[in-house]
Structure 1
């Protein structure tokens, strides 16, 4: 059961890298399994009559990541619009659906989503009609500021987008057609900053009173001036079940979001990074006597500049992930406490051992568990 009072952030700062100039919400990405790419906006602003989409194609999976060598090979695609968000996805192809290729989805101020796909015969990327692979991304209500896609079972996908006029769209699609199975739309009162689809396991009570777990999918939506909300079990209920995140509207606009298991209990936490320089952490819990669970604010941590992007990954290969927080003025790396993590591992091991059948426990054998602390 979660405590009633708000606790402290369980992560401690490992390092901070100062930038020579400001960054923006697109300035942080995962370059490899253990590497980050963080970019500031340095130097003078250069005006170009035509913007470009630059695609770097020479990197081979499995090889050592080398930014300098990759930068030497660049495909420039001229754009006739101002771009907002670039999203890439592995699209499953072939009659047996056993292979995939990377396609790029680029939203712009022309109220369209543009699809860029590799032409295998020419060995280069080119724009193709978006309706061929993504028919749900036609006739958009406004400029799309953020897009998110989640592949689910039975070759289906959920795709969500948030628009400049506050519109939120959600579609369930059979990728084999592709065929739109269902569309949902809802309207917020301000521009949408983030949409993020994520799964969770829920207890399901069957007719024979047996309890089982069912995977459901939720949609986190943040906007410029409103509280962040989560639409629950969207595959079943669409956008009809809304759950607000308390106090999320008190820290200025939410610019980034992340779903991750920070306390290793198997349940997700929701992280919100705000322009008001706060990192907010929420978790689902079910109050006593309540029929549905709620989202409780667990902790909040303040920074010295607005938060722009969040990534959770294992940077040093020790088995523990670090939280990378990109702010307007630099990159923060937050890590878990080694002592707290070791205690948690011992507790989990003790719990697992206690659940073993009595016959499998040998009273004459003693198992000693040792947790070696690194760093």
Structure 2
């Protein structure tokens, strides 16, 4: 298929009508448009695609003023509503809530960052799945039991910029862009090229994985954070050694020289840092304390204020893994067919598949089965107690 524009992102989504649900391809280009391609039936050809007008089915791609570098589309409420996030070359992020059947835009809100948006990702905090039918008597809750409002409010938006720290906007549909959490050190390894939300430690909560052009895979987990001590002011801007990437140079183009310097940090990796390529994923879950320098932007200008002793929730960098080439894509899928999702990492030099430690996975499974056994035993005991407390009915002769 001949293209008359520069392609940026190729993705697929569902095109939902009153009668059908069809998988289509969306391609954003340098012509400030998003193109829709549908499969058509042609004689003697197995697969053939034709471009259709996109605004007829996706009205949220109207009035595009800057090239869309990345977009993410999810359906909620049994495909009755669609959430679309657009990241633009100009730094603008726009989120739409659309009703697929009527093609009506219910809500629209936006914000502008300082640099091009390399990735947007809609995700949920919890990784819930439907309980199998054999466990219906235990009353386990799955994702299908959520009501409409809870399902909508649980979505968060990850935004990665070419020149700024990556940020997560919590409960994007309820709070819009008011609840912001930064991902610390996400701007220290060159531009973020890809992102993925997956539960890699099997606790039911999704972690965030970022792949960078600086050949690093970063993993973040949402947890309670202790407040940072105040930084000491310095007068000499030349003493601050923070120019370790082009994003820092961009961020530091400020007019004032009255900046703040954080305490000196050892630039060598600590003993807790793990870089061996043959290590499995759970073994890498050690806190990485490597920090070349704390950076005045991340620790002074981008940190939310907190009172002494106050604990603030946020994302923390748990570990990072180095590769021999820039990381261009990261996804999760059951590659081995063993029921466990593996991490698929694509770099400029090849494809890497990272598997979890099966011994630790087996330990988690045994603990879950043990919990299910105790829950089943408890429910059976309660049912028996209810039956014993029922008044007996005597028959009259």
TM-score band w.r.t. shorter chain: 0.5 to 0.7
Report what 1:7 is aligned to: none
Q: Give unpaired runs (5+ residues) of structure 2.
A: 128-145, 227-308, 382-397
Report what 1:284 is aligned to: 222
Of residues 184, 195, 204, the one that matches 1:257 is 195
Larger radius of gyration: 2
Tell me: CA distance 1:355–1:291, structure 2 relative to 1, closer, same or farther (3 Å): farther
Q: Distance in 2 between matches of 1:130 and 1:311?
A: 27
Q: Distance in 2 between matches of 1:259 and 1:290?
A: 28
Q: Distance in 1 between matches of 2:104 and 2:311?
A: 36
Report what 1:131 is aligned to: 55
Tell me: CA distance 1:359–1:191, structure 2 relative to 1, closer, same or farther (3 Å): closer
Report what 2:158 is aligned to: 220
Report what 2:354 is aligned to: 334
1:347 lines up with 2:367 in the alignment: yes
Of residues 172, 190, 209, the one that matches 1:271 is 209
Note if contact 1:85-1:108 (Cα within 8 Å) is conserved in structure 2: yes
Normalised by the length of structure 2, the TM-score is: 0.64
Report what 2:111 is aligned to: 186
Note if contact 2:194-2:330 (Cα within 8 Å) is conserved in structure 1: yes
Tell me: CA distance 1:320–1:359, structure 2 relative to 1, closer, same or farther (3 Å): closer
Tell me: CA distance 1:237–1:291, structure 2 relative to 1, closer, same or farther (3 Å): farther
Deviation at 1:143, TM superposition (A): 0.4
Normalised by the length of structure 1, the TM-score is: 0.68
Deviation at 1:185, TM superposition (A): 1.1
Note if contact 1:141-1:167 (Cα within 8 Å) is conserved in structure 2: no
Which of the pair is proportionally richer in strand? Answer: 1
Q: Distance in 2 between matches of 1:183 and 1:92?
A: 20
Q: Give unpaired runs (5+ residues) of structure 1.
A: 1-75, 203-211, 362-375
Computed over aligned residues only, the root mean square deviation of the Cα atoms, in angstroms, reads 2.4
Q: Distance in 1 between matches of 2:332 and 2:360?
A: 18
Which of the pair is proportionally richer in helix? Answer: 2
Q: Distance in 1 between matches of 2:90 and 2:77?
A: 32
Secondary structure of the equivalent of 2:74? strand
Note if contact 1:165-1:191 (Cα within 8 Å) is conserved in structure 2: yes
Q: Distance in 1 between matches of 2:21 and 2:188?
A: 43
* Higher relative contact order structure (alpha carbons within 8 Å, sequence separation ≥ 6): 1
Secondary structure of the equivalent of 1:350? helix
